[in-house]
A and B are shown apart, each in its own frame.
Chain A
Amino acid sequence: MADDILLTAQGISRAYGPHPALCGIELTLRRGEVLGLLGLNGAGKSTALQIFAGVMPPDAGRVAICGHDVIEDPRAAKRQLGFLPEVPPLHPDASVDEYLTFCARLHGLASAAVADGVREAKRRCRLEDVGGRLIRNLSKGYRQRLGIAQAILHKPALLILDEPTSGLDPVQLAEVRTLVRELGRDHSVIFSTHILSEVRAVCDRVAILHRGRIVCDQPLASVDPVLRIRLRRAPGRAIIAALEGVLDCEDLGAGTFALRVADADATAERIAAAARDWGLVALEHDENALERTFLALTCRDDTPDATADAA
């Protein structure tokens, strides 16, 4: 079971001068998980990811990748790691092929495996057509994908991607999301974003970072399923709440209810059957559940905290 844990971060703290960026972050990631790290701008996402990747030392705490401490045993730890920083670490003067070949060697791929690794990474990131182009002439979307190619080409167990979709147009956005979802099959992925729909599209777990603390860390499935129903002859909140599979029922008024449920599809079917006499006019998945959780956690203006910061 211990083999399944790819990343452990314990008590990570980091301050920039007097400003604390992270305070005691705890996180574990298992094999095959795709974790979305959500947070407002300035929440500490990039700092956290850089510390996880071992490119920035924490003030306190330790990080281990596949059981290897990133500071004490960096070589073993980083062999298992692919990292895309916020700004892709590219060489503008090199061509795509040259750059990827260099990265493959840097990550210790055997000479015989370099060409195959580069070809495979280019295929997955759809870079086949630009192999000979100079990186300085590539558009933002290509550069971002090249940054991802660089991170995956040595087939690391753990991928850390810092805002992989920033600055992409909608088509590229969809492509990169598909790619991340594909990668989630063979790699464990942590990626940061402040776009909620992205997390919903690709993650199976979500962690929300706010003011340097993880304020929520749970499987996405346990955040998401909220059903919204509208009834013409509502029977009263308690009766709906007692239905099998309904965890919680909130009366939104005018016959509308928001139900937190365990299994969205099964419960929806059950409600549709039960609500025949209640005049069911609408039954839908509430796509905003994650938004609601996120806003509730991050927009709470913790005044005591704010005054403490000011002091």
Chain B
Amino acid sequence: MIGTIARREAQALFRAPLAWVVLAATQIIVSWQFLALLDIFMEEQPRLRALANPPGITQAVCLPTFGVTAMVMVLLAPVLTMHALSGERRSGALKLYLSAPVSATEIVLGKFFGLLALGAIVWLLNALMAATLAWGTALDYGTLGAALLGLALLVMATLAVGLLFSSLTSQPALAATGTFGFLLLIWMVDWQSGQGKTAGLLAWLSMPDHFQRLSQGLLDTADIEYFLLLTLGMLLLAIWRLDGDRRAF
């Protein structure tokens, strides 16, 4: 059942021009950064070689590129997810699901996996860009793997946040604004204190801190847990919200 709903969601996404525009915009921005970083790396290479512990191409080009993708996801996840439940609530199509023998969990997970199909393309294009470098040079596959894992987790979490806000309202624009506000908040919540200086809740909430550690190749279970908890929490709240449509609390 989850598969059926996921397939339908992916189909709906790819039939509308929105997904293609988002994919194209992401790819143009990210590959532009990728090429620019590559260019700088080539120019600076003689000087870098003089350093005691010079950064390799993976650290200097791939990881910052993934950072750009992460930022772009924060900007575009709201647009991708706003129609998933919000649009269907507005058009009345949500009643098709609510009157069918499917649970709120199946609906939310189906929608989530459908969205992930699009997230997977963003992720795959990043991985492919990094892989093109293997043609001319040696890559640090350990670091690259950790960074790609971090990117995958971040994409998942941003889409889950979007899905929650999409479940809350029947106005897609409101859902997008809510998603963007929330993602931006957890993106900059720790800015004023300088990275890593504060401890406690604020530092833990800050999404870039967790992502940065992963994208530097530091596989810390605490960071992986952060993204999994965020994703799971958002999905659970969305399920709870959808269940409230059929059951009064």
Question: Could you list which residues of chain A lie within 8 angstroms of chain B, going by C-beta atoms?
Answer: 50, 53-59, 70-71, 74-76, 78-79, 81, 83, 85-91, 93-94, 98, 102-103, 105-108, 150
Contact B98 A54 (CB under 8 A): yes
Q: With A78-B101, A79-B101, A89-B94 in contact, is A56–B12 under 8 Å at CB?
A: no
Q: How far is the CA of A103 from the CA of B8 in the complex (A)?
A: 10
Contact B11 A78 (CB under 8 A): no
Contact B103 A91 (CB under 8 A): no
Contact B101 A57 (CB under 8 A): no
Contact B100 A90 (CB under 8 A): no
8 contacts between A and B (CB under 8 A): A57-B246, A71-B247, A75-B101, A78-B99, A89-B93, A89-B96, A94-B11, A106-B97
| A-B complex: 4 closest residue pairs judged by Cβ atoms | A89-B96, A57-B248, A83-B99, A55-B98
Residue of B nearest to A106 (CB): B100
Contact A85 B92 (CB under 8 A): yes
Q: With A58-B248, A85-B95 in contact, is A107–B100 under 8 Å at CB?
A: yes
Contact A93 B15 (CB under 8 A): yes
Contact B247 A78 (CB under 8 A): no
Contact B96 A103 (CB under 8 A): yes
Report A-chain residues with C-beta under 8 Å of the C-beta of B185: none
Kindly provide the distance from the CB of A1 to the nearest chain B CB, expressed in whole angstroms. 26
Residue of A nearest to B7 (CB): A102
Report B-chain residues with C-beta under 8 Å of the C-beta of A150: 96
Interface majority SS (helix, strand, loop, mixed), chain A: loop
Contact B101 A107 (CB under 8 A): yes
Q: How far is the CA of A91 from the CA of B76 in the complex (A)?
A: 24
Residue of B nearest to A88 (CB): B92
Residue of B nearest to A81 (CB): B99
- A sample of 6 more A-B contacts (CB under 8 A), given A75-B101, A89-B91, A93-B12, is A55-B95, A57-B247, A83-B95, A94-B15, A102-B4, A102-B8
Q: Which of B228-249 contact A (CB under 8 A)?
A: 244-248
Report A-chain residues with C-beta under 8 Å of the C-beta of B91: 87, 89
Q: Which of B5, B15, B99, B101 contacts A108 (CB 8 A)?
A: B101
**Does B51 have its Cβ within 8 Å of any Cβ on chain A?**
no
Residue of B nearest to A70 (CB): B246
**Does B16 have its Cβ within 8 Å of any Cβ on chain A?**
yes
Kindly provide the distance from the CB of A60 to the nearest chain B CB, expressed in whole angstroms. 9
Q: With A102-B4, A106-B4 in contact, is A89–B92 under 8 Å at CB?
A: yes
Report A-chain residues with C-beta under 8 Å of the C-beta of B28: none
Q: How far is the CA of A161 from the CA of B114 in the complex (A)?
A: 30
- Proximity bits, B162-206, A CB within 8 Å = 1, else 0: 000000000000000000000000000000000000000000000
Q: How far is the CA of A86 from the CA of B246 in the complex (A)?
A: 17
Q: Which of B4, B15, B92, B100 contacts A78 (CB 8 A)?
A: B100
Contact A57 B245 (CB under 8 A): yes
Contact A105 B99 (CB under 8 A): no
Report B-chain residues with C-beta under 8 Å of the C-beta of A70: 246
Q: How far is the CA of A107 from the CA of B98 in the complex (A)?
A: 11
Q: Which of B1-50 contact A (CB under 8 A)?
A: 1, 4-5, 8, 11-12, 15-16
